[in-house]
Amino acid sequence: MSTQDFNEEDRIFLPSHYILSLIWREANTPLSMKKLSCLKMGTADCDMIVTGETEQEVMDKIMAHAKEVHADKLKEMSSTMSEEEMMNMMKGMMEDM
């Protein structure tokens, strides 16, 4: 079948906003998700695993969880290392999904 076999009625027209939304979605879809678990951070009695599209999102989630559930352990860690050191440690333990 050649292009000459198609009539004007055979063409499919998609609204430009639909095409642009598909392009935007493709450009903004992360190539991989990140994950970090409490187990990986040294908390053997917690099976919490957080995921996110970015390292920052994962760190924010794990810190919120730690403040709520592991406040004593977080306080202990804070007394021996700086916030920057903790963030670097978390980044180093993060895994791609």
Residue 58 pLDDT exceeds 60: yes
Please report the pLDDT score of residue 50 as a whole number. 95
**DSSP state string for 30-48:** -SS-EEEETTTTT-TT---
Q: What is the pLDDT of residue 94?
A: 94
7-36 pLDDT, tens digit per residue, is: 666 666 667 777 777 777 766 666 678 999
Global model pTM greater than 0.75: no
Among the listed residues 39, 48, 51, the one whose alpha carbon sits nearest the alpha carbon of residue 96: 51
